[in-house]
Each structure stands twice: as structure tokens, then as C-alpha cells.
Amino acid sequence: MPNAWCDAGLSGRFWPLHLKPYNNELLSSWLVRLSRAYGMEASRFGASIGRYSAFWNRDVDKGLDDTLLQSLMDRTATPPARVLETTFSGYRGFPIPELYSNGLSAWILSIGLRDGRRHRPWLQYCPYCLQEDVDPYFRCYWRLVFVTVCAPHHCRLLDRCVACAAPCNIHQVPRDADAITCCYRCQFDARRSWAPALDHTAGRHRVMQFQTLLVEALRQGWYPLSQAESVSTEEYLYVLQQLGRLLITRSRAQELRRGFCGYLGEPYFEPSFPASRGRALEVLSVADRFTLLLLLGWWLDDWPDQFVAMCAMARLTRTDLSSHFSFPPDWYEEAVGQVARGRFAGMKFASYGAVRSVDSGVMHQSL
């Protein structure tokens, strides 16, 4: 073990190896690296510090196990703030009530636990980031639903092994595997993967910009709704979730996707769900979420004019926009009121394949 990974001044209070989490490292990733440093399987290591055998049958990244977090602080001499940063509770703007959900938690990729195993693509990665790491690790934001691209490498993220399509169950990687990046099923190294490059289009740029703003908003607690107004990140994410569901699960979802894709000149997409009952943003593949965020980022751009105009053209009603939304924020209700009052009335959806854009509420033909 390289000396740089360990702290000097060891004592009985601490574990012999004091591996610290890397910048933005996910708790799962840190735990697996710790287990490998001790030559242990992650399941056994987790059971030894968590004091229960089915350690990986819960989503430890939510940061709800205070005993586990305290143990990591004490045994690795890592400051509390740095340990919390490996979990979602480390994000100031995260909807905290969602973390305590027994099932899906909004904006966190679902682990899809079944028969004691994680079956869904709960962890994404950029192979080029992993290639550049001296000691490869997985980032915390790679588990966020709205994160679908790597800005430094200008590419799409991957959410499965490219060789066998298995999810990235890093906690099941054998301890004798070459690295944490190896597939637990076929041993293919994720660092050898190729990720699709982003096209140089306005839509792709918007997705990257939208993602950057959302991640920063989680850290700060505020989202820049417009140049003149910032709103609570928690409120904004609730609105984003409401509109995302309109596009993938509501009765008019197919019509809306077709119309929006038509205006953007994007191919129509039909989201694929693992089961008929599991229709949620948190179980979608990275490819589906990328396109969904492209549509949402465009719909919410230039708030509220573009939102109101597109709602009018799609003939969305107050009921469509507010159904199943218990406590909508005032700024959203004000925009929905504009839709209800008929602002931009008379506009119609473009046919599939038409390319148009909205600029400050004015429709114009794009060439």
C-alpha cells in the first residue's frame, strides 16, 4: 500500500490504513476501496463495520446510517464534513424527506434490490475519468438522475458494463480483480470502454449547462430561475419532477414527447421501464434520461415565457400541470396561472420532425 494513502501517527483508535475519500467520491466507492486495501471482500468488510450481514441490501449512499458514518470518522480520522460529502445528505439543496423513503428516492438512481442483489443500473461512470485516476474511484454525482454527461470529457455517461450489460455493482467486484473498475460479472475493465461523444449542437450544450446548474444548486441550496430570481433548489427539483412525470408517465406523455421532439428536431424516444409498475425517472437508462433532460432543459429555459408558450401550444391545462402536485411553489403557480389565462393562446404543436424554437415567447421558423 503506497504511503501516500496512509496517515502517520497510527494508534489503537484508528484502522491501520487511513484511506481518505477522494474529491466527490461516493460512499460506496470509498467503502469498496477500503475493503480492497485490507484484502477483504466488500460484503465481509461492510458486515464487519455495519454490524449486519446484509450490509449492501440498503442504499448506504443516502447517508442515513449514523453509526456507520461515525465509525468511518473515528477509524479513518476523517473530518465529519468530508465523510458527509460522500453521501447525498452532504448536498445542501437535496430534498431531505426524499432520502428517508423506503422505496425510490427522488433524483437518486434506484438500486433495484431483488433477491438480495442490485439489478438496476444504479451507478454511472465516465471511462475517461476512470482512466485518468491514479487510483480509480466513482463520483457521488454519478448517481444523480439528472447527471447524464461528463463535462470535462464532453461525452455521455455509461451505466452498464459495455461487454455484458451488467450494472456496475462495484461492491461485488472480487477482491483479486485488477481494479474497482472491473465488472463483477465478466471482469471487463470499465476503463477500456468507449463513451459516445456529445454532438456540437445547442441541445447538447443545453443539457450540459442544465446539469452543471443543477449540481451547483444542490451544493448551494438555490437555483437561478432567471437572471433576476433564484429559488430554493428543493422547490425547483419538485417542479422538475412534476414536469418529468408529465413527459414519461402521464396520460398525454407520448403526445407531449412527440411534439417537443418535433420542435427541437430530435428523434422521438419511448422510455423503457424495467416493469409496468416501476414507471419513474429514477429507473430510466442514461440514454432515456439524457433525452428527457434535453426536453426539460429546453422547456424551462427563459422562464417563464418559454414554459407558458409551450404549455399553450400543447394545450396543457391547470389540471395537467398541477395534478398530483400537493404543494407547488408560488413561482410555478404564477406561471401555471398564465397558462390558464390563455397567454400565447392559439399556437399549435408542430408536426413531428418540424424544427422550431421559442425565443422570449415568439415562435419562428429555424433553418
The percentage of the chain sitting over the pLDDT mark of 90, rounded to a whole number, equals: 70
Q: Which of 53-67, 97-111, 220-234, 297-311 has the lowest mean pLDDT?
A: 97-111
Grid cell, residue 333, equals 403557480
The answer to whether 95 touches 85, Cβ cutoff 8 Å, is no
Of 150, 54, 61, nearest to 108 (Cα)? 61
Burial 275-300 (b: 16+ CB within 10 A, else e): eeeeebbbbbbbbbbbbbbbbbbbbb
Distance of alpha carbon 171 from alpha carbon 339, whole angstroms:
48
Distance CA 334, CA 342 (A): 13
- Residue 338, phi then psi, degrees to nearest 5: -65, -40
Whole-angstrom distance, CA of residue 32 vs CA of residue 42: 6
All cell numbers assigned to 5: 494513502
Angle at 133 (CA atoms; ends 132, 139), nearest 5 degrees: 110
Do 296 and 244 contact (CB within 8 A), yes or no?
A: yes
Contact call for residues 110 and 283 (beta carbons, < 8 A): yes
Concatenated DSSP letters of 219-241: HHSEEE-SSS-EEEHHHHHHHHH
Query: Counting Cβ atoms within 10 Å, is residue 235 exposed (0-12), middle (13-18) or buried (19+)?
Result: buried
Q: Specify the 3-state DSSP secondary structure of 87.
A: coil
Average pLDDT over residues 282-309: 95
Nearest to 237 by CA among 213, 253, 214, 208: 214
pLDDT for 180 beyond 90: yes
Residues 6+ apart with CB under 8 A from 120: 109, 110, 111, 112, 167, 274, 283
Across the chain, mean pLDDT equals 87
CA dist 361 → 257, 312, 350 (Å): 20, 11, 15
Confidence check: pLDDT of 122 > 50: yes
Question: Cβ contacts of residue 340 below 8 Å, gap of 6+?
Answer: 317, 318
Write the pLDDT tens digit of every residue in 124-169.
Answer: 999 999 999 999 999 999 999 999 999 999 999 999 999 999 999 9
Q: pLDDT by residue (tens digit) across 7-63?
A: 333 345 788 887 999 999 999 999 999 999 999 999 999 988 877 788 999 899 998
Asked if residues 185 and 178 have their Cβ atoms less than 8 Å apart, the reply is no
pLDDT above 70 as % of the chain: 87
The answer to whether the CB of 221 falls within 8 A of the CB of 93 is yes
Render pLDDT for 343-358 as a digit per residue (tens, 0 to 9).
665 555 543 333 344 3
Buried b (16+ CB within 10 A) or exposed e, 114-125: eeeebebbbbbb
Provide φ and ψ at 151, rounded to 5°.
-65, -45
- pLDDT-derived band at 93 (thresholds 50, 70, 90) equals confident
> pTM for the full model?
0.89
Range with the poorest average pLDDT among 187-201, 278-292, 351-365: 351-365
Residue 209's H or E segment, with its range, is helix 202-220
